[in-house]
Structure 1
């Protein structure tokens, strides 16, 4: 057997990475498959550890080229950051790689390493991350300017690093500030996809249809437009967009290759943004679709969308390829399942399906948002247990850690049931500024109705209620329509309009199949017929009311 000469031996040793790099990637690929199929388990850990050992073996080669060492260290750090929290090890490995990049003037490699280092600092030292990324943005901008002047033949567009670093600052900087920085830079350099990304981040998309060749970007734009509508309470406009999303999802040509969405700077360079997998997307669309119909109790769509969403959460399959993303995905699925349950409870309560709402309430764990406290209060209020409902509303309203929306809703509900008129008036005064300046105009309408109810049955105030009825219809809020119609009917007394308002409320309740509001509006109509001595209609309505009363006497304690 012929031995190797000195030159051959040197080539064999220094080429160690040519064998070990692909071998390591094979182990990593198999580890990812195990993660997707079985989650975090022993076999996953063994495969990951063996792959890392392959890369560490490359670093033991004393004669390897600097670029080989740099790339090996970079890959080790990518794997560690994806699957572990070994931040100290990653920082040490990266610092050595950065020295190599500086020594050999490998600027783009240096940028990629700094991006990884910023991820470490965001977890260990946010202040250091801010200092690092601020400097990196400035250096990347200077690098891009020089590259443009000298027409450098880079593999990637030099502007890419500016965007990468700006996006990394989202860890500690306001989204609006980052979006504005991206938009200004993209606008100056005419990067249309990145301008679009900035508008998505800032939730400032126009309501027109966005033309794009990417199914992923198209869906993301539609979801963002719906989010913009919901933020302002423009429910009907959000519903107009929903069919476009469902149509795209059902299309045979629909493509969703991964959790990452590509925004192109030019024909070859792109920024990949992590959003969600196709399985997560379907759940999100079911949640949004259900939410768009919650306020309209005349439609059963909200419960159908939310029930279907909850059904498929049981069959959810993770598609993440790293442990930290897998854990984030698990947290996400838990949160969206909880949100679906909450909104389904709200849907059942809006249609007076108390037994269904109660079953879900009993199986739902509390959270830190205060929403469950409001739902419990609403349930007790529907049951007629106003004292206990008041306790839930007060506890939720006085917790300053909750969102403004939560505070407003709990306070409005509290005002609605308070027996102490002076306390109710004080609550109205305190919450009025918040309702008036809030983006969701529906809060202002609720405030107006409660003020009118609390200020007494003067006829001259009734002109507020017709306006509320019209606007509540535009916002597709059935509960607000019920209250406004019945209150207005009682204010009209013996006038013909009183009958019309009560009949409208009753028809709305029948369409919603809401026995409680059928009974409430039916009793108002019965009292009206009695007051104007229409005894035949009164007796007919009394029989109908008796039937509704029997339907719900096991549920409502005050009937």
Structure 2
């Protein structure tokens, strides 16, 4: 999500405005006593502070020892002392507010010395109010709200409402939108999605297409977080309309954000064909930077910040910039490689395309976390640098998780991928481990289930059911796996399977994921409670559903199952051959080989020996591809 950032370091951008001698003409202050001139110490101290901060921030991505960390903080402290020196002098209110804002921002982001920062900030806010310095006053209030939110979220939200009312009353549109998006961020961080939507609703009618665009994208993200991909799709459609109506130059961050969200929505719906189409749009939007001549892509900041613009209005005659923060380009590429790999697992795994995407994502992560020693290293605080590393380490764990799944799909049940994932999780921050833990349990359950350790698999799946909400997709998938184990020949615990099925039924009914609904229907089709005719009818309806889902593997599995269940030999034969052709059409060599063998057997049973021999010959050639697939090393 795009997190709004008030431009609290205006002093960096406005130094030219105060780079002159600030002094009042002598005024009588009694008999022959002039008023003392304002100090110009800031002309020296502001550039000095900037230099010290930049030097520290350039080192933040390559701190490898405690000595490096101490050196970093010495530079920060020296820069802060430069600002303190300014605040101790008699300076103009405008300059004092800038110094206070900059100083408090440094205390907040670098030292967490909230008490001192609050004292200085409150004094400066009062000074700005007395001198009608509205922009600086709101910048300091923005910082004050963010500081307060770390200790008391409700108090911060109360102060935020007051600031929003004031900005509206004096008609400063830029700060109205700044505070509205800060409200969105605070509610979003607290998982208060209803409040997020309520805050976003007025933005839908904003005169700025860019602001409306981002509002719809944020609403789509909220819908996805609430597992409502259909609603997300509606929001994204409205965002597309904003893009169509947009006459100014496009903002690449918004376009990339939209196509990624569209892909995620299609994935959550289990719509394979749509996922692939949207993934193509992601690739096209990223590849577009190569041909882009506008400079927007090359201006994509290393810290992920970008600007949206309000049209001219009460604030003046020029477009007014609003600053937001999203992913950097490298972070976008990592997430795109991850999503590309996930989408490609089912359709292109014979070419190992998904594995190549995952490998490329890991390569980018390794490069970005190696430490940048170049003079052009991105400027960021030590906290921002740590958050950046946490992002990449977490992304690495997700890539390794799906790498395990990709290997399992290929029939590679070695424990290497699982061990690599468990090792990577050790570097993940504690707050993220709680999110990854269920995924590790799930992938472990799959591994145990496939390698015959069924009791271990059941324990892993049961843990998932305990720690996640019952209606979460991972919990549902764990329950489905448990049902299959209980019905298997090694368990034959139909009573426990029936209990789980009854618990799952209402959850499946309310799910929007058609792939999960299909998997549920598949387990119900062969649960042993129906007659042969009922099973055959269900298989036929499932075959139609699989085709509607455009999921080639589902289609092949159902046709393969139908060939074993249908009573008429002619139908068994045609369905088995259909399974083979379905797998062949999607280049799924493993299922090609499995279905091809079944088709050959059915042809033999029908007395079609010549056709059967021909199919056996084809199967022999396919087996060579299967053997190569299962035993070849992953691409580098």
TM tier relative to shorter chain: 0.7 to 0.9
Match of 1:3 in 2: none
Give structure 1 stretches of 5+ with no counterpart: 1-5, 148-155
Match of 2:70 in 1: 42
In the TM superposition, residue 120 of structure 1 has moved relative to its aligned partner by 1.0
Match of 1:372 in 2: 440
Moved more, 462-471 or 448-457: 462-471
Greater relative contact order (Cα < 8 A, sep 6+) = 2
Match of 2:516 in 1: 443
Query: CA distance change for structure 1 residues 413 and 299 in 2, over 3 Å: closer, same or farther?
Result: farther
Residue number among 105, 112, 123 corresponding to 1:78 in the alignment? 105
In the TM superposition, residue 532 of structure 1 has moved relative to its aligned partner by 4.2
SS of aligned partner of 1:190:
coil
1:215 equivalenced with 2:252 (yes/no): yes
Contact between 2:589 and 2:622, CA under 8 Å: does it hold in 1? no
Query: CA distance change for structure 1 residues 406 and 326 in 2, over 3 Å: closer, same or farther?
Result: same
Contact between 1:182 and 1:194, CA under 8 Å: does it hold in 2? no
Moved more, 468-477 or 119-128: 468-477
1:463 equivalenced with 2:508 (yes/no): no
Contact between 1:298 and 1:509, CA under 8 Å: does it hold in 2? no
Contact between 1:229 and 1:235, CA under 8 Å: does it hold in 2? yes
1:489 equivalenced with 2:506 (yes/no): no
**Cα distance in 2, alignment partners of residues 100 and 87 from structure 1:** 20
Moved more, 48-57 or 534-543: 534-543
**Cα distance in 2, alignment partners of residues 402 and 272 from structure 1:** 39
1:12-36 per-residue CA deviation (whole Å, 9 max, x = no partner) reads: 8711112111111121122222224
**Cα distance in 2, alignment partners of residues 256 and 217 from structure 1:** 14
Residue number among 321, 326, 341 corresponding to 2:385 in the alignment? 326
1:65-121 per-residue CA deviation (whole Å, 9 max, x = no partner) reads: 333222211101122233332222322221222222233333332221111011111
SS of aligned partner of 1:364:
helix
Contact between 1:180 and 1:198, CA under 8 Å: does it hold in 2? no
Contact between 1:133 and 1:168, CA under 8 Å: does it hold in 2? no
Moved more, 75-84 or 247-256: 247-256
**Cα distance in 2, alignment partners of residues 165 and 316 from structure 1:** 29
TM-score relative to the length of structure 2:
0.75
Residue number among 198, 201, 208 corresponding to 2:218 in the alignment? 201
Match of 2:15 in 1: none
Residue number among 16, 31, 56 corresponding to 1:31 in the alignment? 56
**Cα distance in 2, alignment partners of residues 165 and 514 from structure 1:** 48
**Cα distance in 1, alignment partners of residues 540 and 219 from structure 2:** 36
In the TM superposition, residue 262 of structure 1 has moved relative to its aligned partner by 1.6
In the TM superposition, residue 341 of structure 1 has moved relative to its aligned partner by 0.6
SS of aligned partner of 1:220:
helix
SS of aligned partner of 1:439:
coil
Contact between 2:560 and 2:579, CA under 8 Å: does it hold in 1? yes
SS of aligned partner of 1:240:
helix
Match of 2:368 in 1: 316
Residue number among 289, 300, 314 corresponding to 1:257 in the alignment? 300
1:292-347 per-residue CA deviation (whole Å, 9 max, x = no partner) reads: 22333556322221121112211115745122221111111111100001111111
Residue number among 44, 47, 65 corresponding to 1:22 in the alignment? 47
Query: CA distance change for structure 1 residues 83 and 158 in 2, over 3 Å: closer, same or farther?
Result: closer
Contact between 2:400 and 2:420, CA under 8 Å: does it hold in 1? no
Moved more, 66-75 or 275-284: 66-75
**Cα distance in 1, alignment partners of residues 449 and 50 from structure 2:** 60
Query: CA distance change for structure 1 residues 255 and 530 in 2, over 3 Å: closer, same or farther?
Result: same
Query: CA distance change for structure 1 residues 527 and 326 in 2, over 3 Å: closer, same or farther?
Result: same
Contact between 1:137 and 1:166, CA under 8 Å: does it hold in 2? no
Q: How does 1:275-290 map to 2 (within 5 A)?
A: 275-290=326-341
Query: CA distance change for structure 1 residues 160 and 371 in 2, over 3 Å: closer, same or farther?
Result: closer
Contact between 2:157 and 2:183, CA under 8 Å: does it hold in 1? no
- Pairwise CA RMSD of aligned residues? 3.3
SS of aligned partner of 1:261:
strand
Q: How does 1:22-171 map to 2 (within 5 A)?
A: 22-38=47-63, 41-61=69-89, 63-144=90-171, 157=174, 159-170=176-187, 171=189
Moved more, 512-521 or 424-433: 512-521
Give structure 2 stretches of 5+ with no counterpart: 1-24, 27-33, 221-234, 312-317, 373-377, 426-432, 488-492, 631-636
SS of aligned partner of 2:118:
helix
Contact between 1:166 and 1:182, CA under 8 Å: does it hold in 2? no
Match of 1:192 in 2: 209
Contact between 2:470 and 2:476, CA under 8 Å: does it hold in 1? no
**Cα distance in 2, alignment partners of residues 306 and 50 from structure 1:** 43
Match of 1:151 in 2: none
**Cα distance in 1, alignment partners of residues 501 and 139 from structure 2:** 55
TM-score relative to the length of structure 1:
0.85
Contact between 1:290 and 1:302, CA under 8 Å: does it hold in 2? yes
Contact between 2:307 and 2:321, CA under 8 Å: does it hold in 1? yes
Count the aligned residue pairs: 534
1:420-478 per-residue CA deviation (whole Å, 9 max, x = no partner) reads: 12221221221121112112111111111110110345223323323333433444544
Residue number among 291, 295, 303 corresponding to 2:346 in the alignment? 295
Contact between 1:320 and 1:329, CA under 8 Å: does it hold in 2? no
